[in-house]
Amino acid sequence: MSKINLLLLQVLVAVVAIALWYVLTTFPVFGKVLLPPFFFSNPWDVASQVVTWFVTGVIWKHLWVTLIEALLAFVIGSIGGVLVGFWFARQPRTAAVFDPYVKMVNALPRVVLAPIFTLWLGLGIWSKVALGVTLVFFIVFFNVYQGVKEVSPTVLANARMLGMSERQLMRHVYWPSALSWMFSSLHTSVGFAVVGAVVGEYLGAAAGLGYLIQQAEGVFDVAGVFAGMFVLAAFVIAIDVVVTMVEKRLLVWRPVVGDSRP
């Protein structure tokens, strides 16, 4: 399929979905509107709400707050995950001791931690960052742990035979291997950083996209909820594009699936 055809079809899906939404919320079918606008709003209201947000500039503050929270959660969670992952992988005894607790905390639905973080850290950004960190940390931690543990034994033996010291092994073998695993989960961990921020805002905040959606919901402003969702979706896609670009730069050495050898 050519690129243009693909794009046309992709746009077509959106057009059909929005048209259906519009028709079903506006025109009665057999004397009855199937999707009552009170619960489903309609494309027109949602679009005008989004436009109003951007025209008045209200949205920028909220986007900025969410972005900062997600970014901080990602950076702090990743650093923690890399350090602990490395430490556990190189110290199997420590890993064995902590294993049940790691599993326990990871099994905990992180949403229940949100009230505690709000209590400890207040309504500002840090309670959201903390929630995001608990999500990002475990993804990065497990990947780095796996990455360090699953270095190919042959590559490791080869590195030793090439005269590498423990420190050089760290730098030339374990580190790149762990990083490649971490980057392979980059999309997931960035996504979870955003989830942490938005859920945290939703549960109690003074600014952010989650706050915006929660506010709209509080006054039964369905158009506002949908508008918030669309802005959030666009925001996540934008971040994903950036992540893909970063990934492409950092993982040049990795074979692309389906890539034929030049």
Partner 1 sequence: MPVSAMNAPTQGITAAAVTLWNVSVAFRLAGGGIYTAVEQATLNVADGEFVAIVGPTGCGKSTLLNVTAGLIAPVVGRAEIFGGPLPGLNRQAGYLFQADALFPWKTALENVAIGLETAGVPQAEARAKARTWLTRVGLGAFADRYPHMLSGGQRKRVGLAQVLIRDPKILLMDEPFGPLDAQTRQIMGNLLLDLWNADRKAVMFVTHDLEEAIALSDRVVIMSAGPASRIIGDWTVKLSRPRDISEIKLEPAFHALHREIWQSLKAEVIKGYEQTHG
Which range, of 101-109, 139-147, 225-233, 247-255, touches partner 1 by CB under 8 A? 247-255
Per CB under 8 A, 253 contacts partner 1: yes
Residue 155 binds partner 1 (CB under 8 A): yes
Whose Cβ is closer to partner 1: residue 139's or residue 173's? Answer: 173
**Closer residue to partner 1 in complex, CB, 1/161:** 161
Q: Bridge-partner residues for 250, per DSSP?
A: none
Q: Is 176 in the site for partner 1 (CB under 8 A)?
A: yes
DSSP reduced 3-state for 33? coil
Q: Identify how many contiguous H helices and E strands the chain contains and give both numbers.
A: 13, 0
Region from 77-85, 89-97, 126-134, 149-157 binding partner 1, contact rule CB under 8 A: 149-157
158 or 244: CB nearest partner 1: 158
Cβ proximity to partner 1: between 10 and 165 the closer is 165
**Binding letters toward partner 1, positions 156-175, x by CB under 8 A:** -xxxxxxxxx--x---xx--
Residues 135/195, Cβ–Cβ less than 8 Å: yes
Q: Could you tell me the two tokens for 163?
A: 């005269």
The alpha-carbon radius of gyration of the chain (Å, integer) is: 23
262 binds partner 1 (CB under 8 A): yes
CA-to-CA separations, 56 to 59, 65, 68, in angstroms, rounded: 8, 17, 21
Minimum Å gap between C-beta 191 and partner 1 is 25
User: Residues 208-212: contacts with CB within 8 Å, 24+ apart?
Assistant: 208/62, 208/65, 208/66, 208/69, 208/128, 209/62, 209/63, 209/66, 209/235, 210/66, 211/62, 212/59, 212/62
- Rounded least distance, CB 59 to partner 1, Å: 41
Return the sign of the alpha-carbon dihedral for residues 185, 186, 187, 193. positive
Phi, psi dihedrals of residue 162, rounded to the nearest 5°: -80, 5
| Residue 29 phi, psi (nearest 5) | -110, 125
Cβ distance to partner 1 smaller for residue 100 or 163: 163
261 binds partner 1, rule: CB under 8 A: yes
Asked if 260 is part of the footprint of partner 1 (rule: CB under 8 A), the reply reads no
Least gap, CB of 176 to partner 1 (angstroms) = 4
Residues making contact with partner 1 (CB under 8 A)? 152, 154-155, 157-165, 168, 172-173, 176-177, 180, 252-255, 261-262
